[in-house]
Amino acid sequence: MFFSILKFLLISIAITAIIPIVLILSQRPVDPEDLPAGKMSFDDVTADRPRAEMVLDQVEARDGETLSAWSLPASRQDVPLVVMVHGSGWHGGQFAGLAARLEGAADVLAVNLRGHFNGPGMRGDIAYMGQLEDDLADLIAAKRKPGQEVVLLGHSSGGGLVVRFAGGAHGGMIDKAVLLAPFLKHNAPTTRAKSGGWAHVLLRRIIGLSMLNTAGIHALDHLTVIQFAMPKAIREGERGNEATLAYSWRLNQSYAPRGDYLADAAALPEFLLVVGKDDESFVAQGYEPLLAPVNDSGQYHVLDGVTHLGVVDAARTAELIRGFLS
């Protein structure tokens, strides 16, 4: 009887261990050339844009690596520090236009997240889940002036990271937040199918890695789980080396709110949420009914004729942010 039970347990354990491995091995990344074109318009980002008067700042992270961010300080002392977090596949240069529109109203710091094009800094994967939050905390600690208000701003997945940051160990470091078409979760009612065709998700890998992580196994967290359908003009053009085309499991998980994304959203300080009515990835009208019941500190604005990527450089976005800061 004992050996029958033991045999049953061993077989159950073996099956439980095999299933996630089979799921992971059954799906591999595809050639970027084979990714179907999504619905997202890249018209606003395919041309090189000047970085205004921004300079590249460098900060040492807690692990000794170098973090970088594009900085545009204000001439006044009584302004907040606005830390900008870019969207999937990009870098801090995404905010060149917005930073110029906010010049003088804030000390602007447009972050180049670890795992992305980072100027002279690192490009490799993050080392552990939550490292992006630690990096943001290190940048804020290094650049914040005594008594200065801190506003964390993020676009798309960067907005999701802002929400995650608010609900995490460092949430007390920020006084306000600005969310530009934020990603909340793949199953949130604000998320369109496949994020509007922008993201190629390796779903079986995600399920398998989720099972391993639940069991405390992190040896395969470096595997790719999502790819981005960048247009050929960006992948192979002059700016192609600046695009990040895929994320590992741990980077993708760290770049979004936790599983209970509404709990993270509930921890947000006073925030401004701006989204384009023509957003290809997210349901613009879905944010307020979803978030307002868990957090009454938000202001919501849906901009006519504005797309997912276009919301960053829309003139109205800068006007709203300036008003919010003052």
Rounded distance, CA 197 to CA 193, Å?
7
User: What integer pLDDT is reported at residue 238 of this predicted model?
Assistant: 52
Q: How many DSSP H helices and E strands does the chain contain? A: 10, 11
Pick from 243, 281, 249: nearest CA to 27? 249
Rounded distance, CA 28 to CA 31, Å?
10
| Residue linked to tokens 């002059």 | 238
pLDDT tens column, 165-224: 999 999 999 999 999 999 999 899 999 876 767 788 888 999 999 999 988 889 999 999
| Residue linked to tokens 């008003």 | 323
Half-sphere exposure of 127 (CA within 13 A, CB side): 8
User: Is 162 a residue whose pLDDT tops 60?
Assistant: yes
User: Is 142 a residue whose pLDDT tops 90?
Assistant: yes
User: What integer pLDDT is reported at residue 315 of this predicted model?
Assistant: 95
- What angle (nearest 5°) sits at the alpha carbon of residue 90, between those of residues 88 and 91? 125
Rounded distance, CA 97 to CA 93, Å?
9
- Contact by Cβ (8 Å): 189, 286: yes
Rounded distance, CA 44 to CA 205, Å?
32
pLDDT band at 256 (very low <50, low <70, confident <90, very high): very high
One DSSP character per residue, 54-111 reads -EEEEEE-TTSPEEEEEEE--S-SS--EEEEE--TT--GGGGHHHHHHTBTTBEEEEE
User: Is 121 a residue whose pLDDT tops 50?
Assistant: no
Token readout for 112 is: 């180049």
| Residue linked to tokens 């992006």 | 132
Which amino acid appears at position 199 of this protein?
A
Q: Which domains are present in the chain?
A: 32-325 (3.40.50.1820)
Strand partners, 259: none
| Residue linked to tokens 């789980």 | 225
- Contact by Cβ (8 Å): 257, 264: yes
User: What integer pLDDT is reported at residue 93 of this predicted model?
Assistant: 87
User: Is 47 a residue whose pLDDT tops 50?
Assistant: no
Q: Which residue has the higher pLDDT, 36 or 150?
A: 150
